[in-house]
Structure 1
């Protein structure tokens, strides 16, 4: 069954939906007004990921060529915008994490969608490169940070524990769908009406769809409406743990086995305790290096496809071949993360990503170019849900937002640096091949960092 089919903690129930129904399984079918709302929240989280990814990384590559011509600068200059995108979103991550852990997800995500949409509308009217940079980096990227990856994953983490990996898989599937639909729709709009109209349409859609849905229906935690994660029946609240005792439990994790690793996850930890936990930084660096793959690829694939002799539309088909395999990876690997050790999945993700960059380096023919997209989908699909499950197992629901926010201080510069380096290398050498080899090394290094992390075997259902 998809997620679960038990009675909700609020006393209602909802119809069981077969897992074979795919994304449709997220549609709530209440038998009572107070049915468990977890699947509705996962639907909103997936939508948030779809829109935030689409207006930032998803369609970025399609705008590189037209905007470089419009403002009279090299492609590599516009390409640096991807690096600034990552930096702008990363700079806000610690604040986003703190707001999430304090229960402000509804307000924050609604405001973020409004700001991002307004930024795209202003971008469509920009007359200078400086105006365009301000609209995109200061407004679009900052707004996307307020409702995108970290907030949506925190929402899923708050509503599910036992099936958290599967819930996160559905959540990040929104970003995967955006990686195809955003560039495809952007290219159609650019070809028919120009890049300015394309930006305006994206902005209007973000405001018109996301703002009302988030403002009206989003609920940060099930406890806000008397429910429990996974739809569990309400139970007596555990005796609250002090910050000092929680910190002691966290420090004991290095020598106390799984009991020590899992202790104190229900209680918010002091920021200093989180910052001193080496697992936080190993997770941030490890997954940060692995996730340089999609960030770099989104910014260069269309232009690299043109260098290989393909049209923009032909190059965008790479994402069409990637999407079904990436969705499969998210659901399968995310589901496995709920019941199996994490490290075998991490090894698979690392090896397949390295293979993809090696294949691109060989300048594949069009059929092999598309096959590489399918392989890439398998390799990157499970990375985000595994990252979310790993963070939640180590730090729990109460600290998920701040742990991700702190980790972004290490991970985001890696993403930005890799993106900038890929475009700088292309500008210096006239090709992307050196950057592909650099990506192989980065992904391998990330895998080594993650192997050093000791994960709890299972997270306490209360966390």
Structure 2
């Protein structure tokens, strides 16, 4: 019988749900802090005169750091457990937010947001909680991961209007200080919900007994076709999403919409990410991971298409449709992708394996976020960036659909060991 505090206790059937709730809230706090940058971007442009590409640099660096630090974070959570990671993440996020309030140069924002806050957010994100949650909900893995990942969309929805109101009311520097204080006050008590042990990544049954599964190592997983297909899925999906998401508010303001109105509409659309992620993640348990992901890709493409059709500030319906369709599927492929990773590579090294695969997500997000700003700077429009987003989503669909094929002989032999 496991004595890990992170493992499910037979005497309490509610503990897995308590852990899932705590993970959701912690992830929401981290996601809110990171996604608020999309609103601060316009404040930086106005005060410092930076170009869109320069203003996007910190965000792009953050995505690179997030991706390349993922193996380290995955290994740390396998060793130290969720509680210590949340405490570390809370400290780094608070340091980054408070430090950003004092910044007066681009390199400072790049360092504080792109490095310090990004690593902190990784410590309260999917890499920390997925190994634990996938073990606590082995038969409802897609649903549980979907609930967890919906925190990303929820945090994104909350951060846009709240940050815009704070910036409009007290200025961007004071807004950063307030967000830093809130982050620290929220994450400290949440960390107490988690035990001091390891991640608890070993798969369990609903009653807490070990399930007979093959425990994969990173060296075994990296030799499979499925590993690299998942890497491509993460990369193309992030390219498609971040070619649009970072610059949504800037795009709407450029077209002529009021900044607070645009932030509110896009924020309301982002609230749909919660039901969208939960629905597609739960569906993946029943109709398959691939079919669920393809549905989400299709809706995202429709949302980007609505943005392409907007030509003036009188087209409120198209802005709402873009916000709803794009928001509905923000992160909606995540549960299917992450659950597929847990399906293929279960065991106590899942955090490390997921961390290496997630490098693809960081690369794609960095490229997409920077490229959208660069395209705007040279063309004066986001149209080409949005078209590239659709192309990236199509590539991600093809790579994910390829995962339906049976494992390669090499992977089958490994599983049989």
Residue 16 of structure 1 aligns with which residue? none
Q: Is the 8 A contact 1:328 1:381 kept in 2?
A: no
TM-score calculated relative to the size of structure 1: 0.80
Q: Is the 8 A contact 1:268 1:399 kept in 2?
A: yes
Residue 193 of structure 2 aligns with which residue? 217
Residue 44 of structure 2 aligns with which residue? 67
183-192 or 404-413: which moved more?
404-413
State the Cα distance separating 1:456 from its structure 2 match: 7.6
Deviation per residue, 1:239-283 (Å, 9 max, x gap)? xxxxxxxxxxxxxxxxxxxxxxxx61xx242x3212112211111
**Whole-angstrom distance in 2 between the partners of 1:176 and 1:367:** 22
Q: Is the 8 A contact 2:273 2:331 kept in 1?
A: yes
**Whole-angstrom distance in 1 between the partners of 2:51 and 2:359:** 30
Residue 173 of structure 2 aligns with which residue? 196
Unaligned 5+ residue runs, structure 1?
Answer: 1-7, 13-33, 239-262, 458-463
Unaligned 5+ residue runs, structure 2?
Answer: 1-6, 408-417
Query: CA 1:202–1:110 in structure 2 vs 1: closer, same or farther (change >3 Å)?
Result: same
Aligned ranges 1:164-179 → 2 under 5 Å: 164-179=141-156
**Whole-angstrom distance in 2 between the partners of 1:359 and 1:223:** 42
Residue 51 of structure 1 aligns with which residue? 29
State the Cα distance separating 1:198 from its structure 2 match: 1.0
Query: CA 1:233–1:122 in structure 2 vs 1: closer, same or farther (change >3 Å)?
Result: closer
**Whole-angstrom distance in 1 between the partners of 2:297 and 2:245:** 18
Query: CA 1:350–1:220 in structure 2 vs 1: closer, same or farther (change >3 Å)?
Result: farther
State the Cα distance separating 1:92 from its structure 2 match: 0.8
> Alignment partner for residue 345 of structure 1, among 283, 292, 298?
292
State the Cα distance separating 1:149 from its structure 2 match: 2.9
Aligned length: 397
**Whole-angstrom distance in 2 between the partners of 1:223 and 1:113:** 18
Larger radius of gyration: 1
- The answer on 1:357 being equivalent to 2:334 is no
Deviation per residue, 1:135-166 (Å, 9 max, x gap)? 22221111111212322333322321111111
Q: Is the 8 A contact 1:121 1:199 kept in 2?
A: yes
State the Cα distance separating 1:455 from its structure 2 match: 6.7
TM-score calculated relative to the size of structure 2: 0.88
Residue 416 of structure 1 aligns with which residue? 366
**Whole-angstrom distance in 2 between the partners of 1:171 and 1:406:** 20
Which secondary structure does the structure 2 equivalent of 1:380 belong to?
Answer: coil
Residue 401 of structure 1 aligns with which residue? 351
Aligned ranges 1:42-441 → 2 under 5 Å: 42-56=20-34, 58-214=35-191, 216-219=192-195, 229=204, 231-234=206-209, 264=214, 267-269=215-217, 271-363=218-310, 365-380=315-330, 382-441=332-391
**Whole-angstrom distance in 2 between the partners of 1:128 and 1:60:** 16
Query: CA 1:357–1:386 in structure 2 vs 1: closer, same or farther (change >3 Å)?
Result: same
Query: CA 1:277–1:11 in structure 2 vs 1: closer, same or farther (change >3 Å)?
Result: closer
**Whole-angstrom distance in 1 between the partners of 2:198 and 2:53:** 46
Whose relative contact order is higher, 1 or 2, with alpha carbons under 8 Å and at least 6 apart?
2
**Whole-angstrom distance in 2 between the partners of 1:366 and 1:378:** 18
Deviation per residue, 1:402-448 (Å, 9 max, x gap)? 22111123332122111111111011101100101111111101111
Deviation per residue, 1:29-55 (Å, 9 max, x gap)? xxxxx4541111111211122112111
What is the Cα-based RMSD across aligned positions, in Å?
Answer: 2.5
419-428 or 374-383: which moved more?
374-383
State the Cα distance separating 1:74 from its structure 2 match: 1.9
Which secondary structure does the structure 2 equivalent of 1:217 belong to?
Answer: coil
Q: Is the 8 A contact 2:265 2:323 kept in 1?
A: yes
**Whole-angstrom distance in 2 between the partners of 1:380 and 1:448:** 19
Q: Is the 8 A contact 1:180 1:316 kept in 2?
A: no
Deviation per residue, 1:186-222 (Å, 9 max, x gap)? 00000000000111111111111102321x2113889
Q: Is the 8 A contact 1:158 1:221 kept in 2?
A: no
**Whole-angstrom distance in 2 between the partners of 1:371 and 1:347:** 20
